[in-house]
Every structure is written in C-alpha cells, then in structure tokens.
Structure 1
Amino acid sequence: MSAFKPRIIRGLPTQLRLSTGLLSFNIAWTFMAGEVSGNVSQVDRAWSILPTLYTALYTFFPLFESVPVNLKAQGVQPRALVMTALQILWSIRLSYNTNRRGLFSLKEEDYRWAVFRAKVPTWLMSLFNFAFIAVFQNLLLFMLGLPAYSPSVNPAPLHSGDALISSLILLAIGGEFVADNQQWAYHNFKKTGTLDSKREWIGARLQFTPADKERGFLAKGLWAYSRHPNCAFEQLVWLLMTLFPFLTTPDLATNPVDIIAVLSPSILLSLLFLASTAFTEKISASKYSAYAAYQQRVGMFWPADTLRKWFWLRIVRGKPMLEQAERSIWGTPSQARKETSKETHKDE
C-alpha cells in the first residue's frame, strides 16, 4: 500500500504522516456526516478537540512504540508539553461552552448554516460543505496543531519567554471564558426576563434591564468595548501559541518567509473569523434596529478600534452624532427610535 502514497507524504516524518492521515480521516467523516444528515455542524462539534489532538500527537510521539531511536532518547520536550497543557485548558473551556449551547447534540446546527443554506442551491451547499467546511476548516485545525511539531523534535530548555507567552495565553483563555459567560447570562435573561446573578460565573454577573432585553443583543461588560470579545481573545490565544516555535528556533525570526509560515495558522484563523463575523453581523443587523449604531460606535474585535470609533464620532462627526449612537445602544431603544424619528422629521 505504501507504493500508492504520494511522494510528498512518504517523505514526511512519521508523526506528520500520522497527523495528515488523521486530517484525511476527519475531512472524510465530517463531509459524509454532513451530507447524510443534512447537518453541516460536524466540524463545529469537533473544533474544541482536534487542534489539541494534533498537538498531543506531536508532543507524546516519543512515547509511541517503534519511533526513531533519537526521538525516543530525547523524550517528551517540555515546551511541547506546555503547549499541550495550555491547549487542554483551551479545549475544556470551549467544550464547556459548546456543550451548554447544545452543539454536541447531533440534532443541533449552528443557526448561520440554515441562513446560508436558504440563500444557495442544494448542489452549491454540498460543494461548500466539502470545500470550505470539511476541507478548509479541518485543514485550519490541523495547522493550529503544527506549531507544536518543532518544539517536540528540537530539544531546548524553557526560559522566561515561555512563562510570558503562557501567562498571556492563560489571560486570553480567561477573557474568552468571561466573554462567553456574559453572553450566556444575557441570553438567559433575554429568554426568561429574570435575572439571578448569583447563579452566574464571576465576571458575568451583569445587571440587565428591560432595555437590554428590548435591544436584542449584548452591549454590556466586555461587549461594550468589543462587538465580539470572545473572538478577539480566541485569535489572541492562537497568535501567542504560534510564537512558541520562535523560542525553540530563534533563527526563524530572521527570515520573513519563515515568519509568515510559522504565523500562517493564526493568520488564516483571523481571516476566517473576519469573514464569519461579517456574516453573523449581517444577520444581527437585519434583526436588531440598534445594531448599526453598535457597529458605528464599538469595534468588531479590538478595544483600540472602539477608541478610534469614539474619536471619529466625537471629534470628526461631532458630539451630537456620538450621543445619538450611544443613546441608540445604551439608552432605552424605544426612546432612541423616537429620537431618531424626530431627527428624521427635522431633516424633512
């Protein structure tokens, strides 16, 4: 059978051959499961597990039977082990949030896929399921595990750089957890109309009002500074994760091509977030009248963009424009609509 493997696969180290084989398997089962069930959230269900699985494969490969003698002698490398431990924490957080949203249920599907499916013919949805969902997303998850390969095969001691990057990753994972919990608390309030902050995690005990429910989307807590703080922290986690290979092989930082290659997983992830978030916001803007003002006043991901938007509205457009946008978001929505109506009649 090995004679039928592509030459590029035969030339890869064993652990990379194993991981690419796992990638091929994941592409096949997620595509077939999506087509048979009509539910294309198969990769969504595996998202919290696969990057950590690839990373763990590289990290613990020296413990496998029949590995090259040199790798077995080197043993498990501490930097790769640190990366695996951090990703396990990341997996626990995301799996917890995925589970409470119900996405581990085979019957559940991300609501955005239903919206997209309604806009395209069946044959195009199948093509999209294969090319984007099964192939591209699985390839991206595979690439997120690749930064652990170099630390797993190149012995190098830990130093202060590892402590700094690890601390920042832990803070970013904590930020994701807070953002997810704030959103969860808001949607519970929106659904029930009642608030029991004592049952929520610390950091998510926000005081919601009927005006928050009427608005239809969360604009308090971290969400007052970023329209998608969970996505911002997620991008930060993986950007920091891709820095570990530079600690193992500092020479990588001297070549622009190497820098781009090492950072490419986090770059592709950010591009995916940018595209998917734009689609999400198109749906939100069609549902909530104040969402356009929210986009005008608050940055998509980064608080620095929120500050830029404040400066633009306050200094360039004028204080009344800033106040109108903020009233639409954080004031009583019905009152904001009256104010907007007055402005419209005044212009007429």
Structure 2
Amino acid sequence: MALPALHALEECADFSKTIQPFIPQLYTLPQKLVDVIAGRESFLELYVDTNPLVSGFAISLALGAVFLVVSEINHNYSQVDRCWSILPTLYIAHFDAWARLAGVSSARIDVALLFSTLWSIRLTFNYWRKGGYSVGSEDYRWEIVRKNVPTAVFHVLNWTFIAFIQSILLFLIAAPVYIILLASRFEPNLTSADLAYVTIELGLILTEYIADQQQWNYQGAKKEYQKAAKVPRGWSQLDLDRGFIASGLWGYSRHPNFAAEQSIWFFLYQWSCYATNNLYGWSAVGASFLILLFQGSTWLTELITSGKYPEYSHYQNSVGMFVPTRLSSYKTPVVKPKIIRTSELAQRQKQKQK
C-alpha cells in the first residue's frame, strides 16, 4: 500500500499516519532499484507501489550526492543553485504523475503544478540572463565564505548544507503538495479556495518578475553610465551614483523579490493546511527552513553591499528588509553644503600663521 488508509480529511496532515508507516520503504528502495536494473521488477510497478513522499525524498538524497561529487571535482559550489529554479517544480510534477498513475484525482495538483511551472520559467530565465549557467559561474558569496573559514570547515559545510541540506530543502518546500494529494481523495474537485491560493501564488510570481526587471534595468543603466559617463534616458545621476536600486518596489522593500519568494512557499504550506482543515502541520518545515535560510543569506548580501555603498546604511534604516515599514518610497538624503562663516575663515587663518 503506497498511501495511508485515512478516515477523515484532517488525518491527511497527521505525520504518524501519512509518513511514519512508510519510512521503511526508504530503506528497502535501493535493493528494489537493483531488482529493477536486473529485470526482476518493473520500474513502473515500483514507482506506483512506493509512497510518493518517500520516493521524492529519496530523489533529493541522490541528487545531493551528485551535487557533492560535482562540486568537489570542479571546486565550484553553485551546483544546487543551477537546479534551484527547476527541482521544486519537478517534485510537484512527480506528485502529479504519481496521482494520475495511481488513479487519484490530480485536478488540485494540476493547478499547483501550473503556478510552479511559471515560477520555474521566471526564475530560470532570470538566472540565465545573469550568467548563472555560464561555464565556471559561481555565487560570489561562496567565494567570500571560502576566504573567511578554514578549508576543512568549508568542505564540511559543502558535505552537509550546500550539497545535501539544500537539495532536501528543495523537496521539502514542495512537500505540501503530498498533503493536497491525500486530501484529493476526500475532495477531488477544485474548490474556490484552491483557485484563490493559485491566484495569490500567481500574484507573488508577478511581483518577483517586476522586482527582477526593475533590478535588471537599473544595473543595465548603471553599467552604461559607468562606461559612457553619460546618464541614460529615464534615469537621474543621483540614482546611478548611489550604486544600488532604491526605486519602484525597491523603494518600499530592500528585497521585494526575496519577500515574494518566501511567501510563495509559505502560502503553498498554508494551502495544504486549509485543504485539510488544520491550523498547522509538519509540512511547515520546508517553508520555515527556507525563511531561516533567507535571513542568513540576506544578512550576508547586505553586509557585502553596505561595505561597497556609503548610502546603504541609510537605506537600511529607512526601508524594511522584506516587509514595507512605511507608505512612502525611499528618498535619497539631501546633503546640504556646510556654510563657512567669514569669522571662521579668519580664525583658521590666524591658526595657520601661528
């Protein structure tokens, strides 16, 4: 039996009933894969007979091993980064495919896959145009971390967090769809709440797209300004001399794209709670860990940025990191020239003569 025998909708979020009984499948899965390779068992039968959460988690572990080996061979630690925009959608597609093969209604999972696919397209495109898929490309923050920690410590960090924990995280943020899959056995049809959650998700993806495009436009204008020493049309010299974007959505949030990204997976978790009439559940672990990860990575990003641009500290004090803290957009502080009185000039002259 690949799915638990449940008697109430609320039980779909019960860890002891929906996950714990299937943990032994994780231990026997390697041997069964060997049987498939040897031709003693059908892969399709193994796929359908294995709990989809277990098989998805197993895939994340296998990918973590691949990321580890490739990163250590190439000395490039952005292997997970290159797959970040794709894997959550592939995990949701896995739940969708499993539901169809097992005869479970997939209507609610289909719409989750729809928003996730659009999320993947947006993020993959943005990562590509920034050169993320170029040969040798690596997140600049890993280089900074390598320079500030002992080599042995960094390798331990790679063996644990960078390769495996991040890989598992990308599965866990998609795991609430498993709960929606279980709930679909009780409520197989799309509900108005499902459509409302998808609408919220699409709105957050649009917010990310707008924020990314505003950042892209600003960086392009800044590069043109630095190269030609001429302010591009539609921009002011004050904005470009600042060195970082502080207009549009960025005038209200220092990281509007990050805020939307965290919200996307938090609302997917909330969707699973609503679908099972629960206030909270075990599937919060993925969204919660993602939020914690963003706290640390954003702190490091801002530490680097504040060291490059003098005005950034004022920007930090004026604009919220993720959530807007005021209704008006950020304004660059006007530095008034100091007025030197004639008496002060005379006094300085006398001091020089002494």
Q: Offset at 1:327?
A: 4.0
1:236 to 2:263 alignment: yes
User: Which of these residues, 241, 244, 247, is aligned with residue 217 of structure 1?
Assistant: 244
Change (3 A) 1:89 1:327: closer
**Residues 15 and 138 from structure 1, CA distance in 2 versus in 1: closer, same or farther, beyond 3 angstroms?**
same
State the one-letter code of the partner of 2:318: R
Q: CA deviation at 1:6?
A: 7.6
SS at match of 1:243: helix
Compare the two structures and name the one with the higher helix fraction.
Answer: 1
Which structure has the larger Rg?
Answer: 2
What's 2:303 paired with?
Answer: 282
Q: Which runs of 5+ in 1 are unaligned?
A: 65-70, 198-206, 254-258, 311-324, 340-348
Any unmatched runs of 5+ in structure 2?
A: 1-21, 30-49, 339-354
Greater relative contact order (Cα < 8 A, sep 6+): 2
Match of 2:215 in 1: 183
Correspondence 1:132 to 2:153: no
Q: Give 2:319's aligned residue.
A: 298
3-state SS in 2 of match to 1:261: coil
Percent identical pairs in the alignment equals 36
Partner Cα separation in structure 1 for residue 111 and residue 221 of structure 2: 38
Answer yes or no: is 1:163 the counterpart of 2:163: no
Distance 1:35 1:57 in 2: 29
Per-residue CA shift, 1:258-305, capped at 9, x if unaligned?
x142322211111111110001000001111001000000000011x3
- Answer yes or no: is the 8 Å Cα contact 2:99–2:106 preserved in 1: no
Give the equivalent residue in structure 2 for 1:344: none
For 2:195 and 2:54, the matched residues in 1 are separated by 31
TM-score by length of 2: 0.76
Q: In structure 1, what is the equivalent of residue 67 of structure 2? A: 30
The residue correspondences of 1:52-71 to structure 2 (distance < 5 A) are 52-64=89-101, 71=102
| Closer/same/farther in 2, CA of residues 11 and 35 from structure 1, 3 Å limit | closer
Letter in 2 for 1:42: Q
1:173 aligns with 2:205: yes
Give distance in 2, aligned partners of 1:27 and 1:99. 22
- How far apart in 2 are the matches of 1:233 and 1:20? 25
SS where residue 283 of structure 2 aligns?
helix
When the two chains are superposed, the root-mean-square deviation of aligned CA atoms in Å is 2.3
Equivalent pair of 2:255/2:321 in contact (CA under 8 Å): yes
Paired residue type of 1:183 = Q
Instruction: Give distance in 2, aligned partners of 1:218 and 1:290.
Output: 11
Structure 1 CA distance, aligned partners of 2:168 and 2:134?
23
Answering whether residue 249 of structure 2 is matched by residue 249 of structure 1, we say no
Q: Is the partner of 2:158 in helix, strand or coil?
A: helix
**Paired residue total:** 289
Contact 1:226 1:306 in 2 (8 A): no
Distance in 1 between residues matched to 2:162 and 2:272, nearest whole Å: 28
Conserved 8 A contact 1:293-1:326:
no
